[in-house]
Amino acid sequence: MERWQKVAIVVLAVVTVVFASFSVGFTLGSGDESVLPFSSSNEGDVELIEDAYEKILSTAAEPPDRDALVRGAIKGMVEVLKDSNDPYAFFYTPQGFRSFQELTTGKFSGIGVWLKQKGDDLEVVSVLPSTPALRAGLRRGDVIREIDGAPVQDMTSDDAVARIKGPEGSEVTLGIERGGEPLEITLTRAEIDLPNLISRSLQQDLGLIRLFGFARGAGEQVRAEVRNMVTKGVKGIVLDLRDNGGGLFSEAVDVASTFIEDGEIVTYKARGENDVTYDAEGDAFEDLPLVVLVNEGTASASEIVAGALQDQERAMVIGTTTYGKGSVQQVYPLADSSALKLTIARYFTPEGTDISGSGIKPDVVVDSDPASQRERAIEILQGIVISTSGAQG
C-alpha cells in the first residue's frame, strides 16, 4: 500500500471518531501522528478499514484504481456526515481543492459568473464584466442544467463549480434553461480577476459599494473605498450584499469594523471550546449614514456583517430575508493534496441570535426586482442623510 493511502485510511478512522465524540479543532495532514487521538478502539477502526481495502484489491474481479478506492471511501464518509448533521461537509479532489484556494485569492480560470443553488436548480445570479460568460450571452436567471453533457442535478454546487472552472483556453459546454427554453452555449475559459467590490457615485452625494465576496483583502478594500468616497464628499453609502455568498470569516469582521467603532461583531462557538467574541477594531467611519441591501442569496460572511450592523443599530437593513447560514467551515488538507471541508463552529450575532435556517430579517422588506430594491435603499438613505444633517445643523 502506498504511504499516502495508508495516511488517508488513518485519517478516515480519525474523522469517524472525532465526529462520534463531537470534538473539533483538529488538524489533518500535518505529519505529526502524536496529535491523532488514537485508542485501542480507534486502532480497531483503522484495521477494519484496512481489511476492507485489502480485500477489495486482492479479491475483486476488476479492482478499482487504488487512489479512486481511497477517495471513494472518504466521499462515502462525507455523505454520511452530510446526511446526519453537516450539510456543508464536502470532499475536494486535488483539482477541486486547488480551485477552492484560487477563490480565496480572487484569481481563477473560468467563465465569470456567480452561481447559487435555488432549490434543485443551479442559477446564474450575476455575470461579471469583461468575461467569457458576458461575451457568450449568459444572463442573470439562467438555470444551468448540464455541464459538458453531465446533468447538474447529480452534482453538488461545489462539484458543478469545479467542472465549470478549468485551464485557461479550454472549453466548457453548458446546457441552460432560459424562460423555459433549452439552450446550449460553449465558452472558452479565461483567467478571471475576481473583484471583491465595485463602487459608484449616486445622486445627491451618495455612494454605492457592491461587495461580491470576502476573499483576502476585502476588508482593506472596503475601508479604502469608503475613505476615498468620504474624501470626495459622499455623505452616505449603500452597502450592497445581495447574492454575496460569503468567504473568509476574518474579512467579515474587518468589513463590519469599517463601520462599527466599538462593540461586538460576532461570537464564535465551537464544541468543546470556550466561546470567542470578535469585537470591532476601531478607526471606523462611525457617523457615516449607511444602509445595507440583502436578499436570499446573502449568506455566511455577508450575514455576519449584516447581522452586526443591524444588532448594533449602525445601519438599516433593506431587502428580503437572507439565506440563514450560521455556521463556520474549515478546510483540512489531506495527504494527497485533496481536502475535507467540515463545519467546526456556529456563529451568533451580537444579540445572540442563531440565524441558521431562519436568516436575517430586514428592517424594511422590499420583495421586488433588484432595481426597485436599490431605489428604495437610496430613498431611505437620502432621508437618513437629511435627518442627520438637520440634527447637526
Strand ranges (E), the chain? 90-92, 107-110, 113-118, 121-127, 143-147, 150-151, 171-178, 181-188, 190-193, 197-202, 206-211, 236-240, 264-269, 276-279, 290-294, 316-319, 327-333, 339-348, 364-365
Distance set, CA 254 to CA 14, 216, 251, 266 (Å): 34, 11, 5, 11
Point out the catalytic residue in the list 99, 311, 336, 341: 311
Are the beta carbons of 303 and 325 closer than 8 angstroms?
Answer: yes
Are the beta carbons of 243 and 213 closer than 8 angstroms?
Answer: no
User: Rounded to an integer, what is the distance from CA 90 to the centroid of its chain?
Assistant: 13
* Residue with cell string 469583461: 130
Distance set, CA 9 to CA 13, 45, 314, 335, 344 (Å): 7, 10, 50, 10, 21
Point out the catalytic residue in the list 126, 257, 300, 302: 300
Point out the catalytic residue in the list 165, 235, 325, 341: 325
Distance set, CA 174 to CA 109, 145, 304 (Å): 16, 7, 34
Instruction: Name which of 317, 308, 319 is nearest 252 in CA terms.
Output: 308
- The answer to whether residue 51 is catalytic is no
- The answer to whether residue 148 is catalytic is no
CA pair distance 328, 278, nearest whole angstrom: 14
Contacts 24+ apart (CB under 8 A), 195-203: 195/106, 195/128, 196/106, 196/221, 196/222, 197/221, 197/222, 197/225, 199/225, 199/229, 201/229, 201/232, 201/234, 202/238, 202/378, 203/378
- Residue 7 Rama label (left phi>0; alpha psi -120 to 50; beta): alpha
* Residue with cell string 422590499: 366
Distance set, CA 286 to CA 249, 257, 289, 318 (Å): 22, 9, 8, 19
- The answer to whether residue 387 is catalytic is no
Please give the positions annotated as active site: 300, 311, 325
